[in-house]
Structure 1
Amino acid sequence: MCGKLISINCRFLLDVNSADIEYLFINDGSKDNTLNLLRKLASMNEQVRYTSFSRNFGKEAAIFAGLEKAAGNYVVVMDADLQDPPDLLPKMYDIIKTETYDCVGTRRVTRKGEPIIRSFFAKQFYKIINRISDVEIVDGARDYRLMSRQMVDAVLEMKEYNRFSKGIFSWVGFDTKYLEYENKNRAAGETTWSFWGLMKYSLDGIVAFSDAPLSLSSLIGLFSFVASIVIAVVVAVRTLIFDDPTSGWTSLVVIILGLGGLQLFCLGILGKYIGKMFLESKNRPIYVIKETEQDTVKKI
């Protein structure tokens, strides 16, 4: 029922502490009737809590806010659109209570319903980031997971502004077991993630957990330098021995454009990292709260 009531811009967290359950909704700047519904739910049930942002800060900020506000021994991060199947919750809870795992995550084994090109690039992203990063990110892993309080506290210690939760969950470590399930269609609404939005998010993840692009730019620069020396030697030999100097401005323009393009490409990689450092140095809050369930109680 919650997935039908809450818009796609919200995140849903279920905090389980023995028999005590609290429902914590994060309203990530939705423009529909979500906030009014949350006010109504909070006024009807004291187990329902919510935090509403002043604007849309993105899913990473919403996840962080939910983890900060959750107070129980076990915390579940879950999308409100029902793409994360709620029927897995009892099994997840049973595993973390009876076995030695600190986290029970989920991963999709199929991408039925997704555009083919999006599925292709998603698989390539996981292959690339697992090759160049020190942390392993499981292919198809979702943010939908049940975590112990110890793991949640570890995640909250990482207060960087540029967040990539899949990488953070892996970086903090802790024993994790993944449950597999087939892709589910959302109960209502349409995704706000465009192809380019996902591409940007993927690049942010690579920059956040790998310096391989910087090494790549250095290798490109070294290769270009060596290639220029080899070409210079070839031209000198042809001129001195065979009296056959290289002529024509076409080849010169091609070389200039090629080297210029490589330089801009390397500068772009460097600029991406510097931009992330610039945002971190501002020390801005990850999110801004406009309203919580406490405000609803005061109004009543």
Structure 2
Amino acid sequence: MKKISIIVPCYNEEEALPFFYPVAHEVLEKLPDDYELIFVNDGSKDKTLEILRDLAAKDPHVFYISFSRNFGKEAAMYAGFVNASGDYVAVMDADLQDPPALLPEMIKILDSGEYDSVATRREDRKGEPPVRSWFARKFYQIINKISDADVVDGARDFRLMKRDMVDAIVEMSEYNRFSKGIFGWVGFKTYWLPYENVERVAGESKWNFWKLLKYAIDGIINFSLVPLNLSSWMGFFMTGVSFIMLIVIVLRKLIKGDPVAGWASLICVVIFIGGLVMLSLGVMGQYLAKIYMESKRRPHYISSESNIKDVKKID
């Protein structure tokens, strides 16, 4: 008999958990396999932890890890991967935007032996603001062109993986994590399961436009050197342009003997070049910041409470 591990990151999901647990429990109880539900409380400020304690007391299949503060969804997923003991491991959100009803079909696909992972993707973006949808599509197009990460448009974190793939993900213990990219980078054969977009069952999304933008920038920097290469090529190009303009100015002075006119245009050029320099320094600064954080070797998360006997963590 196989064991299925379900990892559920939670941040202020007090309103959603009373809806999520009965639905997930009903689906999992109908499976012929053993299972465990691992809830990771990511420093919630509401009654999420109290609800998880109550669920764990009533259901022996429920386990929880509570962080000492908010470490982010990436850390929560990693904590789940490290502590999951199942032969198949899934990640899903507590807001029911990742339908538990898809689990039996996902398990069936993995049981066929042809695939190592079943990942979900939304067929549409109904309910999303048009601007946000446009930026999301462009992000997927850009990151697939400039990196080794294979990220499908509309991909969700909701996926079911075999143990070998989960172990490979755990071995990638980098502090700056972008799981969508990691899932693609480790390889393994993935089946993409489309489904229609589902609205949150309760509560509000924790992701606003600026958080998503930062997430996208982190993903690009974590999996691509193209921004650094672009900075280098911009510097090379502007140096060449400056050298050519210097020759033009000297020749004009020697041939015509008149001073160079156009102080306004000169200031514009100086500001433009200065902006490119600052942009390049900013890009390099982002990479240096990532290296700096990795060099600290800080833990991905700190567990303040859990009903798992020996909570594992990898520094």
- Fold shared, TM-score > 0.5 on shorter chain: yes
Question: Residue 140 in 1 paired to residue 154 in 2?
Answer: yes
Distance 1:126 1:193 in 2: 17
Q: Distance in 2 between matches of 1:158 and 1:251?
A: 51
Unaligned runs of 5+ in 1: 296-300
Confirm or deny that 1:4 pairs with 2:22: no
- Partner of 1:186, secondary structure, is coil
Which residue, 176, 188, 210 being the options, matches 1:162? 176
Please report how far the alpha carbon of residue 3 of structure 1 lies from its aligned counterpart in structure 2 after TM superposition.
Answer: 8.1
Give the superposition deviation at 1:286: 0.3
| Per-residue Cα deviation, 1:250-292 (whole angstroms, up to 9, x for no partner) | 2222121111111000000000000000000000000010111
* Contact 1:123–1:139 (CA under 8 A) maintained in structure 2: yes
Distance 1:151 1:90 in 2: 19
**Where do residues 56-67 of structure 1 align in structure 2 (5 Å cutoff)?**
56-67=70-81
Q: The residue matched to 1:30 in structure 2 has which SS?
A: coil
Mark the CA change 1:171 to 1:29 in structure 2 (over 3 Å): closer, same or farther.
same
| Pairs within 5 Å for 1:143-292 | 143-292=157-306
- After superposition, residues 119-130 of structure 1 pair within 5 angstroms as 119-130=133-144
> 2: distance between equivalents of 1:135 and 1:48?
33
Alignment partners' CA distance in 1, 2:66 and 2:39: 8
CA change 1:15–1:247 in 2 (3 A) is farther
CA distance in 2, matches of 1:167, 1:282: 23
Query: In structure 1, how many angstroms separate the alpha carbons of the residues matched to 2:120 and 2:15?
Result: 18
Alignment map for 1:108-127 (pairs within 5 Å) = 108-127=122-141
- C-alpha displacement at 1:18, in angstroms? 6.0
How far did 1:99 drift?
3.6
Asked if 2 retains the 8 angstrom alpha-carbon contact of 1:6 and 1:80, the reply is no
Q: Identity percentage over the alignment?
A: 54
Partners of 1:184 and 1:163 lie apart in 2 by 26
Structure 1, 241-250 or 48-57: larger mean CA deviation: 241-250
- Secondary structure at 1:35 match in 2: helix
Equivalent residue, structure 2, for 1:25: 39
Following superposition, the deviation at residue 31 of structure 1 comes to 1.1
Q: Answer with 246-255 or 93-102: which moved more.
A: 246-255
The one-letter code sitting in structure 2 at the alignment partner of 1:174 is: F
User: What RMSD, in angstroms, separates the aligned Cα atoms of the two structures?
Assistant: 2.2
Conservation of the 8 A alpha-carbon contact between 1:6 and 1:81: no
1:182, distance to aligned residue in structure 2 (A): 1.4
**Greater shift in the superposed pair: 282-291 or 253-262:** 253-262
User: Are residues 241 and 180 of structure 1, via their aligned partners in 2, closer, same or farther at CA, if it must alter by over 3 Å?
Assistant: same
**Aligned length, in residue pairs:** 291
Gapped runs of 5+ residues in structure 2?
1-13, 310-315
Is the CA contact 2:15–2:203 (under 8 Å) kept in the aligned structure 1? no
Secondary structure of 2:203 counterpart = coil
Map of 1:74-113 to 2, 5 A cutoff? 74-113=88-127
Q: Which moves more between the two structures, 186-195 or 235-244?
A: 235-244
CA drift of 1:126 comes to 0.7
- In the alignment, the residues of structure 2 paired with residue 76 and residue 242 of structure 1 have an alpha-carbon distance, to the nearest angstrom, of 75
SS in 1 for 2:92: strand
Letter in 2 for 1:274: L
| Residues 158 and 3 (structure 1), Cα distance of their counterparts in 2 relative to 1, 3 Å cut | farther
- 1:135 shift after superposition: 2.4
Query: Equivalents in 2 of 1:224, 1:189: separation in Å?
Result: 50
Cα shift at 1:191 = 0.7
For 1:37, which of 51, 66, 72 is the aligned residue? 51
Alpha-carbon distance between aligned partners in 2 of 1:87 and 1:294, rounded to the nearest angstrom:
27
SS in 2 for 1:142: strand
SS in 2 for 1:79: coil
Calculate the TM-score normalised by the size of structure 1: 0.92
2:19/2:201 contact within 8 Å kept: no
Q: Tell me the CA shift for residue 243 of structure 1.
A: 2.9
